Structure 1
């Protein structure tokens, strides 16, 4: 570990990061700071494996989650630059069968629209999450059945599905898989020799991190989330050594060892505002003009342009951030998936290096984060508790069982086990708790409680079940099929 004193910072950065890890209950972390083309700080902190007492190193593999989107965006930019693709041509030019429920959107949506999340389609993440057998053709067939929550190009709405489809476009026009293209055109030229595209590959390494999450006041290990079906949206695993090369590439505006890999003009387009957006549910005077570029968030931090992207997936958080006009950037990789914690740490490092007024970013954002989480979970719980519990179901449990189908979301199975009902979706089994009449609840990710409502045309039959898998549109209806 390189342990240095940051200019105008009275405290050692390594000590500061250790304190913040304790404050945010982070198990392990690798961090780097680059200034004016030099590695100013490289930190290896905490454990990658608590049980085996194995330390984090600069070569420990972490899942970087949605920070992978910038790689997909760069791949598209490369293909645009060589004339193979066009940012602004309708996607149907490359995928003629592509359709959306909003016909106009389906006819006119472009790669640019998809890259900057202005399709009108909300996340609909349950379509792909845990669906490891999902193929791009399957997803494209589902798209025309998914409800939009906003008009096309009306506003920014983060969407992983669109990035999965973008990855398929790369495959169609290059005859290489998305991962083959990223490896050949980005990883190899940048020297990112230890990065990969699957947790199954990571687990074969001698230096990889386990995923952890905070439950109550304790940190517990998690199962790895397999993202093989969603690699272009969040499937990269990388190391601090490799990610500092990625950060340097962007600070150098598309150059690797003095060679221009992508034109500065096109790199700057990736880093430029395409649509206003609001990333976090709070406001601070120091942070203004939040927007999304092409695979990157763009904002003004204390009057300086700030380009960044986080990644959060089960047990892991990552953050890649840079101030291009200051030639200054930060990478953080960690094995705890608390959202937003990397943001205040990054702001604080910038303040110390640049001599700005020190602010308790960690305390302020943690307070706002807690409020947001309480608000999110509190609404669901209050709605459930407002109903009288433990009333006998309207039907026998056997009547609720069966196979239920939705053309966009696929199939759910309701099965009876020991006088209880379980719901199976995308190979994950959820226990249903009866609340009243034909309404049950299921708990997702140990946090979110959502309702599962059964509907029938008579007291003897169940015709369909509705579930709010996507909160911004009407409940998803699954019609009962064969038993």
Structure 2
């Protein structure tokens, strides 16, 4: 994970004679302040936002503006330019540029290149598709064209990087190799392994990036370590709405989310390559606009060729623009390239529980904008609204009402969940027979516990879960419907719920037990919804009473497998132990 103190720019202030000063009118002016505060009010955000705008004039002088708005913590602490946010997938650029540094390392033997095949450097690598397994290169994995969909529920906090890589060969592809763009965090976990597997020191990615990028750029508040970020008292809370009225999309009780990734320290953890940083956005934006050169110096920290390679399009991420002022999007490595109102932009979004970020640069306009927010629910849209307004202001364009456009998207009614049919047929075996431990080569093990109706012969761990379920996941169990709960050691959920629908079919929900801060009702269930997300599970009982479990709607691809037996059409298959 990568944590960035969003904008401690005292280092830049300390070097005015080196960096110069661009005297153009500020972008973060009274009008901008009023606009951003109004956006937070319109979305009824429980959190806030930090922004940075960097501009360079024709003489090389920089104007650097940073400001915070709204709430950083549940206690009402305000966001400032020093507030730290997790930047999620904006960490991928640090990861792939570390690969670029390895490619530039002349001491490696054999030398690494962008077209190096993964199988030649990572012995534990493999995919279910034999062609992809043999032929996939660094370019393929960084541009998300291996054929694998997201499979985000496959990795666990208890996994290490080699374990995640070894699981890949058991995960089903949803497309042909090099056919389409399919975002996959696991491929960046794979890339994060390269410093460890190639260098004699076996250094983890987090240490390598600190030594070769953070420290040379004096990005002192950028870290992979929760402990380091939290020690200064500047780390924001991820803020979430506990929805109490589904007809009011912006309402709910404000809650603080525990920081999503607290393990690993400065060595990082299993998700460091995909989503691990907390960071100095203004310094980073300047470095990107300078093609990898440290601001205020002629020191090349990142090879320009590496930055240009990862910023150039390889795959088509978005084939058709959502709005007429935008364009299709191509993806390189940790960077997406498109246009905004005729101006070329290079950007990436980041999202982890509690945080959304977007870091954007306009290379032909010498302009960079970073927007970071701790609004878990709508931060992805809030940052688009604010980014658009800041670009319009900086470029001197007539303002587009992005706020109304994106709020209209949220106002679309949600699809209600299909109710369980009356007199629904029972499974082919009794419910208690379906409980137990299930294993998948690509996803690992989990125990599925029958919590309704009561299972007197359940394991001790299931008995404990059932006894505490009303406290851990209050309101998440309909006592009129047979329900299974499984504990899931994931960054994205704490429990999976299977509620009986018909026969061997069960609806699937991903739930997270979050603290309330209230001793009398210590937890609430995030993700419990009356909407239909299309995920379901199907049990299969063989003639020899072997039980299997197939999941559909969870692998993160646009389409699911069709036809054939349940095992063949399942996206993920588990066998009961």
- Corresponding residue for 2:487? 424
Report the CA distance shift for 1:265/1:199 in structure 2 as closer, same or farther (over 3 A). same
Contact 2:373 2:383 in 1 (8 A): no
Give the one of 345, 349, 360 matched to 2:401: 360
> 323, 326, 350: which one pairs with 2:365?
326
| Unpaired runs of at least 5, structure 2 | 1-6, 10-22, 244-250, 263-268, 454-482, 512-526, 561-568
Range moving further from structure 2, 252-261 or 335-344: 335-344
Q: Equivalent residue of 1:45, what SS?
A: strand
Given that 1:397 and 1:421 are in contact with CA atoms closer than 8 Å, whether structure 2 keeps it comes out as no
Asked if 1:414 corresponds to 2:427, the answer is no
Give the CA deviation at 1:10. 9.0
Supply the distance in 2 between the matched residues of 1:313 and 1:166 (Cα, whole angstroms): 19
Secondary structure of residue in 1 paired with 2:347: strand
Aligned to 1:341: 382
Asked whether the equivalents of residues 74 and 255 of structure 2 are also in contact (C-alpha less than 8 Å), the reply is no
Per-residue deviation at 1:9? 9.6
Cα offset for 1:6? Answer: 5.1
Query: What is the aligned counterpart of 1:56 among 75, 79, 87?
Result: 79
Structure-2 change in CA distance of 1:425 and 1:340 (3 Å): same
How far has the Cα of 1:273 moved from its partner?
1.4
Q: Is 1:249 aligned to residue 345 of structure 2?
A: no
Contact 2:165 2:186 in 1 (8 A): no
Name structure 1 gaps, 5 residues minimum. Answer: none
Of 100, 106, 111, the match for 2:127: 100
Identify the residue that residue 477 of structure 1 maps to in structure 2.
Answer: 573
- Taking a change above 3 Å as real, the CA distance of residues 154 and 418 of structure 1, as seen in their structure-2 partners, is closer
C-alpha separation in 2, matches of 1:389 and 1:408: 36
Match of 1:400 in 2: 434
Q: 8 Å contact 1:454–1:462 — kept in the other structure?
A: no
Contact 2:149–2:556 under 8 Å retained in 1: no
Once residues 440 and 223 of structure 1 are traced to their aligned partners in structure 2, the CA distance between those partners, rounded to angstroms, is 30
For 2:432 and 2:227, how far apart are their aligned partners in 1?
Answer: 39
Change (3 A) 1:416 1:266: closer
Provide Cα deviations, 1:376-425, integer angstroms capped at 9, x if missing partner. Answer: x62xx55x33x505636334331111111111111121113352532233
Give the distance between the partners of 1:154 and 1:370, measured in 2 at CA.
Answer: 34
Partner of 2:501: 435
Cα distance in 2 for residues equivalent to 1:331 and 1:388: 49
| CA displacement at 1:430 relative to structure 2 | 3.1
Q: Report Cα offsets for 1:97-119 as digits up to 9, x if no partner.
A: 31111111111111111111111
Aligned to 1:30: 50
Say whether the 8 Å CA contact 1:64–1:318 is kept in structure 2.
yes
Deviation at 1:471, TM superposition (A): 4.9
Range with bigger deviation, 119-128 or 74-83: 74-83
Structure 1 counterpart of 2:260: 225
What does residue 19 of structure 1 align with?
38
Distance in 1, Cα, partners of 2:62 & 2:422:
62
Q: 1:72 to 1:480 in 2, by over 3 A?
A: same
How far apart in 1 are the matches of 2:303 and 2:259? Answer: 37
- Please, what TM-score do these two structures have when normalized by structure 2? 0.75
Does residue 209 (structure 1) correspond to residue 230 (structure 2)? The answer is no
Q: Which residue of 1 aligns with 2:459?
A: none
Larger Rg: 2
Taking a change above 3 Å as real, the CA distance of residues 293 and 54 of structure 1, as seen in their structure-2 partners, is same
CA 1:282–1:271 in 2, change beyond 3 Å: closer, same or farther?
A: closer
Aligned to 2:536: 451
Question: How far off its partner does 1:226 sit?
Answer: 2.0
TM alignment of 1:105-184, pairs within 5 A: 105-128=132-155, 131-174=156-199, 175-184=202-211
- CA-to-aligned-CA distance 1:334-378 (integer Å, 9 cap, x gap): 11122233123212211122121211112213323554xx5xx62
Cα distance in 2 for partners of 1:335, 1:8 equals: 22
Distance 1:28 1:155 in 2: 36
TM-score (norm 1): 0.89
What is the Cα-based RMSD across aligned positions, in Å? 2.6
SS of corresponding position for 1:452: strand
SS at match of 2:369: strand
Q: Deviations over 1:168-203 (max 9, x none)?
A: 012211221100001111110111112221434433
Structure 2 distance, partners of 1:296, 1:73, is: 10
| Bigger proportion of residues as helix | 1
Distance 1:204 1:79, change over 3 A: same
CA–CA distance in structure 2, aligned partners of residues 299 and 17 of structure 1: 25
Alpha carbons of structure 1 residues 6 and 48: separation in structure 2 relative to 1, 3 Å: same
**Do the aligned residues in 1 keep the contact of 2:100 with 2:303 (CA within 8 Å)?**
no
Paired position in structure 1 for 2:19: none
Evaluate the alpha carbon distance shift between residue 410 and residue 355 of structure 1 in structure 2; reply closer, same or farther with a 3 A threshold: same
**Are the counterparts in 2 of residues 70 and 295 from structure 1 also a CA contact under 8 Å?**
yes
SS in 2 for 1:236: coil
Give CA deviations for 1:259-312 in whole Å, capped at 9, x if unaligned. Answer: 122333332222221222118x86222111311122101001122110011111
**1:76 equivalenced with 2:160 (yes/no):** no
- Indicate how the Cα distance of structure 1 residues 224 and 393 shifts in structure 2: closer, same or farther if over 3 A, else same: farther
